[in-house]
Amino acid sequence: MIGRIAKPKPDAERKQDLPSGPSLFPTLRSHFLFGRLVPVIIAFFLLTAATLKAYQLVKEPTRETSFLMSRWSLMLTANLEVLLALWLASSKRPRLARAAAISTFFLFGCLAFSKALGSAASCGCFGNVSVNPWLTLLIDLTLIAALFIWNPARIPTRSPAGRTHQTPPQLLRGP
């Protein structure tokens, strides 16, 4: 076989060699930067929303039009956003943090969708900063998609000697 030149494959065979399905996702899932940036970017969004809510609570009286817009509800939401942001950024129990973040953004998306259907000018997700509920819903859905693509089982960790290694997925599953 040495010295033989490979003949080009016909188009039908060439198409079969290509990976089928969304081949971009496995590549992104295992990419180091994607694995580190997704939780940091989501933590940034959560901290921004919590800071804007806290600023609204400190600087002016709250328009309590519903239970979700009451002062206590906004304080609780801002605190939970900060806690979730810190959890995501800390890389402690990342699979559980991902599930909590997906659930949180799903609820935020439901709220934004209901505000958008009611033709509200803003959903109140970012305090007094007026953001169209449809845009907020788009942000929530984008972050949910990023969370589904993100594979926290493949986040590189540091060994005691300082070397970077991959944590095997079978060790993360538990007994």
pLDDT in tens, 42-51: 999 999 999 9
* 164: β partners: 158
Q: For residue 18, what pLDDT is reported?
A: 44
Mean of per-residue pLDDT scores for the chain: 76
How far is residue 144's CA from residue 54's CA, in Å, rounded to a whole number?
A: 24
Handedness of CA 48, 54, 58, 63 (dihedral sign): positive
Residue entry with tokens 């002062």: 71
pLDDT at 19 over 50: no
Contact indicator for 46, 107 with CB cutoff of 8 Å: no
pLDDT in tens, 139-175: 999 999 999 888 776 555 555 555 555 555 555 555 5
pLDDT tens per residue, range 76-111 = 888 999 999 999 988 888 889 999 999 999 999 999
End-to-end CA distance of the chain: give it in Å, rounded.
Answer: 50
At 23-48, the pLDDT tens digits run 445 555 555 566 678 888 999 999 99
Matching residue, tokens 């969708």: 113
Distances (CA, A) of 152 to 66, 157, 166: 37, 11, 11
Confidence of residue 138 (pLDDT cuts 50, 70, 90): very high
Q: How far apart are CA 124 and CA 130, in angstroms?
A: 7
pLDDT-above-70 percentage for the chain: 62
